[in-house]
Amino acid sequence: MTRILVVEDEVSFSDPLSYLLSKEGYDVEVAETGPDAITAFDSDGADLVLLDLMLPGMSGTEVCKKLRAESSVPIIMMTARVEEIDRLLGLELGADDYLAKPFSMLELVARVKALFRRQEAMSRNLRMDAGVLSFNDLTIDPIAREVHLHQQPVELTPREFDLLYFFARHPGQVFSRLSLLNQVWG
């Protein structure tokens, strides 16, 4: 399930937002302070962070800097600061999007969905560029190191995966034991 960390100290804002995102099928966690946000992210991670700038304990800009130092998680800043310099600063710090309050919750949900669609499309393109192999109902993804047969995951050891991927990249070819040792084991 896609996980969203909402960092917002106003319960009157975070509660309806969490409810709306949960109804859309997202797993939502709320952090009310900057330090709580860092702790929540470090312990449980997130696929997206919705970040208020004015937080107790640590500003949203500091949270953004800290998250960017350790992760490329998408960040959408939500703030009452509407000046152009504030938006530019937020984007320069690493935010992927910036919404000035008040805004429509439905617009925010639409932006979240659009961001995840873009991420999925980029991920698909990366997998194709990296050489995802498909044979009938067998799919081998070298980036995720996953194998699926009939859309069901196949559990393989790292060495089994390396061998399968090597053989799949060289269909119809025969290899000696020594050649396999050199090619797969290095």
The pLDDT tens digits along the chain (186 residues) read 899 999 999 999 999 999 999 999 999 999 999 999 999 999 999 999 999 988 999 999 899 999 988 888 899 999 887 777 777 777 888 888 888 888 889 999 999 998 888 877 766 665 555 678 888 899 998 888 899 999 999 998 888 888 898 888 888 899 888 888 888 776
pLDDT at residue 178, as a whole number: 87
pLDDT at residue 123, as a whole number: 65
Q: What are phi and psi of 79, to 5 degrees?
A: -155, 160
pLDDT at residue 131, as a whole number: 75
Q: How far is CA 1 from CA 79, 131, 183, in A?
A: 27, 26, 37
Instruction: Evaluate if pTM is beyond 0.75.
Output: no
Beta strands in the chain, from DSSP E residues, in sequence order: 3-7, 27-31, 48-52, 75-79, 97-100, 133-135, 138-141, 146-149, 152-154
pLDDT at residue 127, as a whole number: 57
In contact, 165 and 140? CB cutoff 8 Å = yes
pLDDT at residue 35, as a whole number: 96
Alpha-carbon gap, residue 95 to 119, rounded angstroms: 15
pLDDT at residue 64, as a whole number: 92
